[in-house]
Amino acid sequence: MKTLSTLTAIAALSFAGAAHAQFALGDRYEDNDGDLIADIPEDESELIDPDTLIFAYTPVEDPAVYAEVWQGFLDHMSEVTGKEVQFFPVQSNAAQIEAMRAGRLHVAGFNTGSNPLAVACAGFRPFAMMAAEDGSFGYEMEIITYPDSGIEEVADLQGETLAFTSETSNSGFKAPSAILQAEFDMTAGEDFETTFSGAHDSSILGVANQDYIAASIANSVKARMIEREVISEDQIEVVYQSQTFPTTGYGTVYNLTPELQDSIREAFFSFEWEGTALAEEFGKNGEDQFIEISFEEDWAVIRTIDEANGVSYDCN
């Protein structure tokens, strides 16, 4: 297994002359304090205070499993906010962003790669992330294969097909695209072919069942699937692992009333994890609390990857 610094790889790609895209919010949002997220509107007529809050977790293969995992937390949010809270299963990152942009989604967890797009195009205001007891957080991007596939190192992907998840995913597309080009001089469509599975667990299952010869995935998802015995550890081999990235960011849409946004924040940081379904599921990754995050600081490396990949935030 090889490991390298993603920042080094991205720097190399940048100097190689890749197209750049400057992060900026869509025209419908303002950022007067310069923290890179949409300000809460000062005009009260632009604020919303729904009777029912809609919550969505990042897309997964089986949303019903996560509806049960999140229910205890959503009950807690309901108690703190005085609102009904409903779990909304989403099928793709694009659908999740569009739901918030259209006003149908109020509270959400957006995965690492789609977080900047949600901030820029949907008025997402992230403020929390799951972390371990000592405050550490994050996951690594891995390129995986199955035993005896013939893929023993990254160079062996030459002429093969690599499964990505979606174009908005950091570890499922953005980071590996940048790293493969910068560190290994390998470009999709030229040195290897690609396919898209739609979700990390779909890619992992695809490799475990030998439907995909290789895939780029988030190892936190892999760890939970192994723990749940969806796959076994001996079905997967890791040929590459990245540095640690921030994980799913949680927050609200920008135009909820300030009081409601404050009470939603309170719900996240006052939630007692011990003995809950949330702790059972995410404790498999060593996560057992919500911590405060800064999009400006904690997502800087992800915005750098987006720059290297020439990602566009044109969402008007």
Question: Which mean pLDDT values do the consecutive 10-residue runs of the chain (316 residues) have?
Answer: 35 37 88 96 97 94 86 98 96 92 97 93 97 90 97 97 92 91 91 95 97 96 92 97 91 98 98 96 91 93 83 75
Query: Is 66 part of a structural domain of the chain?
Result: yes
Can you give the C-alpha Rg of the chain in angstroms?
Answer: 19
160 and 239 part of one domain: yes
Query: Is 226 part of a structural domain of the chain?
Result: yes
Query: Is 265 part of a structural domain of the chain?
Result: yes
pLDDT of residue 285: 82
Query: Is 39 part of a structural domain of the chain?
Result: no
Q: 245, 265, 287 — which closes off a domain? A: 245
153 and 274 part of one domain: no
Closest among 301, 288, 261 to 80, alpha carbons compared: 261
Q: What is the pTM of this model?
A: 0.77
The CATH number linked to 151 is 3.40.190.10
117 and 173 part of one domain: no
147 and 238 part of one domain: yes
pLDDT of residue 71: 97
102 and 60 part of one domain: yes
Q: 201, 229, 245 — which closes off a domain? A: 245
When divided into structural domains, the chain yields a total of 2
Query: Is 35 part of a structural domain of the chain?
Result: no
Residue with tokens 């919500």: 290
Query: Is 200 part of a structural domain of the chain?
Result: yes
How far CA 271 is from CA of 30, 70, 75, 87, 215, in Å, comes to: 31, 12, 10, 17, 35
The domain of 151 spans 2-16+139-245
252 and 127 part of one domain: yes
129 and 146 part of one domain: no
211 and 155 part of one domain: yes
Query: Is 80 part of a structural domain of the chain?
Result: yes
216 and 84 part of one domain: no
Q: 216, 245, 274 — which closes off a domain? A: 245
145 and 239 part of one domain: yes
3-state secondary structure the chain: CEECCHHHHHHHHHHCCCCCCCCCCCCCCCCCCCCCCCCCCCCHHHCECCCEEEEECCCCCCHHHHHHHHHHHHHHHHHHHCCEEEECCCCCHHHHHHHHHCCCCCEEEECCCCHHHHHHHHCEEEEEEEECCCCCCCEEEEEEECCCCCCCCHHHHCCCEEEECCCCCHHHHHHHHHHHHHHHCCCECCCEEEEECCCHHHHHHHHHCCCCCEEEEEHHHHHHHHHCCCCCHHHCEEEEEEEEECCCEEEEECCECHHHHHHHHHHHHHCCCCCCHHHHHHHHHCCCEEEECCHHHHCHHHHHHHHHHCCCCCCC
Query: Is 33 part of a structural domain of the chain?
Result: no
**Can you say whether residue 18 is alpha, beta or left, with left for phi > 0 and alpha for psi between -120 and 50 degrees?**
beta
301 and 266 part of one domain: yes
122 and 252 part of one domain: yes
